[in-house]
């Protein structure tokens, strides 16, 4: 059985920043029936060094967050360990969490990918916006397909296909 961690983050009180936690909530609804104990879903307000421990014993990791920098509906790419500028802050990037894993455990982290769901409005107290909700639906369907085909080769192929189909501009 492939052991998968889905790790999302965001603030449910800040408009489209809730996209990561909402993705987690939607996947949790399907998880027990569809994937059983092979998929664990965690969500937090931000990534922190302690999340490196959550990667231990996993075969695949799927990170997910909202992003204003990606094209709609979402982007999907493999993440590699990197001690970037977030490595020493209280909020880390997925790459920095992978680097923290290597530092803590002395070995390579499990293969990991990042889904960044396009968001546009991150104001305190706002709900998820209409366009972000459409992007979320696409990301949920995509994540379900990933979790139904749990292998690095399948996820790399999905990342390559997603890059090819991304709008150019």
pLDDT, tens digit, for every residue of 117-148? 999 999 999 999 999 999 999 999 999 999 99
Domain count along the chain: 1
Structural tokens at position 72: 């709609």
Report pLDDT for 168: 41
**With pLDDT > 90 as the criterion, what percentage of the chain qualifies?**
82
> Would you tell me how many other CB atoms lie within 10 Å of the CB of residue 32?
10
pLDDT, tens digit, for every residue of 82-111? 987 655 545 689 999 999 999 999 999 999
Over 61-130, what HEC string results?
EEEEEEECCCCCCEEEEEECCCCCHHHHCCCECHHHHHHHHHHHHCCCCCCEEEEEEECCCCCCCCCCCH
E strand or H helix that includes residue 10: none
Angle, alpha carbons 95-96-97 (nearest 5°): 90
Distance CA 38, CA 3 (A): 5
CATH of the domain at 125: 3.40.50.1450
For residue 162, whether the previous peptide bond is cis, meaning omega lies within 30 degrees of 0, is: no
Distance linking the first and last C-alpha atoms of the chain: 41
pLDDT, tens digit, for every residue of 27-76? 998 887 899 899 999 999 999 999 999 999 999 999 999 999 999 999 99
Domain that holds residue 71: 4-165
Residue owning tokens 């360990």: 81
């Amino acid at each position: 059985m492939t052991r998968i961690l889905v790790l999302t983050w965001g603030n449910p009180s800040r408009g489209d920043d809730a996209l990561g936690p909402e993705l987690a909530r939607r996947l949790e609804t399907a998880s027990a029936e569809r994937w059983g104990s092979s998929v664990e879903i965690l969500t937090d307000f931000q990534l922190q060094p302690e999340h490196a421990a959550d990667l231990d014993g996993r075969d695949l990791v799927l990170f997910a967050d909202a992003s204003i920098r990606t094209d709609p509906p979402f982007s999907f790419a493999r993440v590699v360990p990197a001690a970037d500028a977030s490595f020493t802050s209280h909020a880390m990037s997925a790459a920095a969490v992978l680097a923290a894993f290597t530092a803590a455990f002395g070995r390579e982290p499990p293969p990991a990918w990042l889904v960044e769901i396009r968001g546009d409005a991150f104001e305190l107290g706002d709900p998820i916006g209409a366009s972000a909700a459409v992007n979320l639906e696409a990301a949920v369907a995509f994540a379900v397909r990933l979790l139904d085909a749990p292998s690095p080769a399948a996820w790399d192929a999905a990342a390559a296909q997603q890059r090819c189909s991304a709008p150019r501009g």
